[in-house]
Structure 1
Amino acid sequence: MKRRTQTLLVGAVPIVALAGVLSAPALSVPFAAQGPGPLFDVLSDVEGKSIIEVSGPSVDSKPSTGELDMTTVAVHHNLSLPQTIAMWLDSDNEIVPIEAVFPPGQSQEEVEEENKAAFTESEANATSAALAQLGLPTEVSVAYTVPGSNAEGKLHEGDVIISIDGIKATKPDAVKDHVQSLNPGDAVELKVRGEDAAKERTVAIELGENPHAKGAALLGIGMSTQSAGQTKVEYQLSGIGGPSAGLMLTLGVIDKLSPGDLTEGHHIAGTGTINAAGIVGEIGGIKHKISAARDSGAELFFVPAGNCVEALTADAGDMKLVRVRNVDDALAAIKNPGAAPSCS
């Protein structure tokens, strides 16, 4: 039986198993290869669907003339020894222990599930940061419930969480921070609004234990952020996980909900986590992402400030590496690329 390598597309950490490539009959070795992954222009379509779909009175119907590329890292695993050697000889790839892809004690399915949750949180934070930048109010909705959790059957996809234990929930962090302050077995009371916006209900849930963090409380839901008004933001990109798309998704939402062309015709790539306040956080695989963006012809690459030292070891070619700490830094760099601070 032939064995195939498997490829993951990652933002900051290994995420979702995709197609197998490079067949070989030998047993796999305990290593993986990391290299540049594909880029996705968040202002474009994938398989006929907009990566970011917006609707409502604030939508700018005029398409942008530039690009906002989110970058990924491709991780090949289940490699045979000859395949590992071949990838090691390719300067674009880096060979790492398999534990860097699947930490000890975690199955591939658990890693995929964990990083799916991270991407959902990244989308929620991108919406929060973008709407806050535009001065639009937000609310928290249930994206999914964790199978087998105490929330399953009590909360449903699309439910709006108004408050938790009397704490107003306008952003997922309000719910997350409160749950993290409690212990498994504690009970929380949520005020929730379902499909009928005129009806509210109270839901009591006993917190479980996070399977990935012993002693940490688990509510058992994934959360997203939406406008408290008529504006709606939805993300259509699948097969990617992890938190590092946050910054570029935020910029994409801002472009689609503000007048004019945010990109001003520039080809921009970048990476970075985002929180609800618009702060950009560091990620992994920065050198591979820079290589992919350089080869695509990007003019600017947004680098989280915490990644600048490592970014300077990559071959960026003529592409400018712009240091960003928050959304405001990125917006200022787009408006005036020449004055934008470089990694140094």
Structure 2
Amino acid sequence: MASGVFVLVFGLIGAFVRVPYVAIGPGPTYDTLGNVDGAPVIQINGQQTYPTAGELRMTTVSLNDQISLFGALGLWASGRYALAPREEYFKPGESDEQVQQENVKEFQDSQSNAEVAALKHLGYPVKVLVQEVVSGSPADRLLSAGDRLLMVNGKSIAQEEDVRAALAGTRAGQTVSLTFQHGNDAPRTGSLTLAANPDPKQEQGFMGLQPIDRADVPFDVKVSLQKVGGPSAGLMFALAIVDRLTPGAMVSGEHVAGTGEIDEKGNVGPIGGISFKVIGAREAGATVFLTPAPNCAEAAAAAPSGLKLVKVTSLDSALTALEDLKAGKATPSC
């Protein structure tokens, strides 16, 4: 009788009690040159676009949270999932909604960075916006997030590096002028007194703002994916934008997948979950996988048969690799 009760209790615990782990596995993939729910993943309005061919497929990782003991064991035993402590993905006290909001912001930032990187590669201009203003800083009394910076300390601002260059040699207590534009308002000029820099390695005065490059073009680029988070789709978005805005098919019928965080300068950074992404890519029919250089070793250890790994470090290197693939030339491999 007692053993029967024990088995029942254990069964109830295993079936209903949640364990502090998450299960990670291959997630859905999306062709950034294709459609999702009837709408193009990449929409460009107000500018001529060109036909494309083949696929440029972004990859994702699935994360199963709030799993039971039996559920966790079943997912692990399937061989397609790995278990990881929940605190590696959810900060203590952080709600699922907060995590989702962070993921959405990272995804939106990756879209913006991809747009800037792609359009800069194609020779389009950029503008410098205030991404963030530090509360209580000198800039907090003059600027708002989203304002466009035109001049700082008497120097014209064409890219974000110009802001730091304009402050070179300044000191706390020094007054500098700024010309900026808020929305569609006329440009304004004001001044602020620099504070001491909170970074001991930086000697120049501190304004208290974070500049960021954004595209300055008379057309719109929109990404229509929903319920996808994180920054790792940036490279594939940038490639799709370049492909749509240039004559000739970039991949000529090839099924190319890939991943990689991208900054506005086109540098490609490492991402998480690469071992699951290569599996998801191959299952979706990809034969080529664009792999951030720092992820190469992990990707090579997990890549399924029939998937060629191409090592990339930047948007330019990815574009060169795709041109070489199309021409039958050798490409950097992992």
* Range of TM-score over shorter length: 0.7 to 0.9
AA matched with 1:42: T
Count of residues paired in the alignment:
311
Aligned to 1:230: 218
Question: Is the CA contact (8 Å cut-off) linking 1:320 and 1:342 kept in structure 2?
Answer: no
Structure 1 pair 169–127 and aligned structure 2 pair: CA distance change class (3 A): farther
The whole-number CA distance in structure 2 between the counterparts of 1:103 and 1:269 is 31
The whole-number CA distance in structure 1 between the counterparts of 2:129 and 2:79 is 44
Question: Is the CA contact (8 Å cut-off) linking 2:177 and 2:189 kept in structure 1?
Answer: no
Aligned to 1:70: 58
Query: 1:3-82 maps to which residues of 2 (within 5 A)?
Result: 26-57=16-47, 59-60=48-49, 62-82=50-70
Identity %: 35
* Pairing partner for 2:233 from 223, 240, 245: 245
1:296, CA displacement in angstroms?
0.8
AA matched with 2:219: T
Q: Which runs of 4+ in 1 moved over 4 A?
A: 141-146, 149-154, 163-179, 187-191, 197-207, 217-224
The structure carrying a bigger strand percent of its residues is 1
The whole-number CA distance in structure 1 between the counterparts of 2:24 and 2:163 is 35
Question: Is the CA contact (8 Å cut-off) linking 1:272 and 1:280 kept in structure 2?
Answer: yes
The whole-number CA distance in structure 2 between the counterparts of 1:284 and 1:177 is 34
The whole-number CA distance in structure 1 between the counterparts of 2:141 and 2:33 is 34
Question: Is the CA contact (8 Å cut-off) linking 1:120 and 1:223 kept in structure 2?
Answer: no
Question: Is the CA contact (8 Å cut-off) linking 2:130 and 2:209 kept in structure 1?
Answer: no
Query: 1:167-316 maps to which residues of 2 (within 5 A)?
Result: 169-171=157-159, 191-196=179-184, 198-200=186-188, 225-227=214-216, 229-316=217-304
Two-structure CA RMSD over aligned residues (Å): 4.1
The whole-number CA distance in structure 2 between the counterparts of 1:139 and 1:277 is 13
The whole-number CA distance in structure 1 between the counterparts of 2:276 and 2:107 is 20
* Deviations 1:103-135 (CA, angstroms, capped at 9, x unpaired): 345443443333333223222221221112111
Secondary structure, aligned partner of 2:16: coil
Structure 1 pair 302–238 and aligned structure 2 pair: CA distance change class (3 A): same
Secondary structure, aligned partner of 2:241: helix
Aligned to 2:78: 90
Runs of 5+ unmatched residues, structure 1: 1-23, 180-186, 208-216
* Deviations 1:87-110 (CA, angstroms, capped at 9, x unpaired): 111111111111121134544344
Structure 1 pair 300–284 and aligned structure 2 pair: CA distance change class (3 A): same
Structure 1 pair 136–329 and aligned structure 2 pair: CA distance change class (3 A): same
Moved more, 118-127 or 248-257: 118-127
Secondary structure, aligned partner of 2:28: coil
AA matched with 1:316: P
The whole-number CA distance in structure 2 between the counterparts of 1:177 and 1:42 is 37
Question: Is the CA contact (8 Å cut-off) linking 2:15 and 2:70 kept in structure 1?
Answer: no
Aligned to 1:123: 111
TM-score (norm 1): 0.74
Question: Is the CA contact (8 Å cut-off) linking 1:141 and 1:161 kept in structure 2?
Answer: yes
Question: Is the CA contact (8 Å cut-off) linking 1:173 and 1:276 kept in structure 2?
Answer: no
* Deviations 1:59-78 (CA, angstroms, capped at 9, x unpaired): 32x33121111111000001
Moved more, 229-238 or 87-96: 229-238
The whole-number CA distance in structure 2 between the counterparts of 1:176 and 1:294 is 44
Aligned to 1:16: none
The whole-number CA distance in structure 1 between the counterparts of 2:94 and 2:24 is 19
Secondary structure, aligned partner of 1:116: helix
The structure carrying a bigger helix percent of its residues is 2
TM-score (norm 2): 0.76
Secondary structure, aligned partner of 1:261: coil
Moved more, 30-39 or 240-249: 240-249
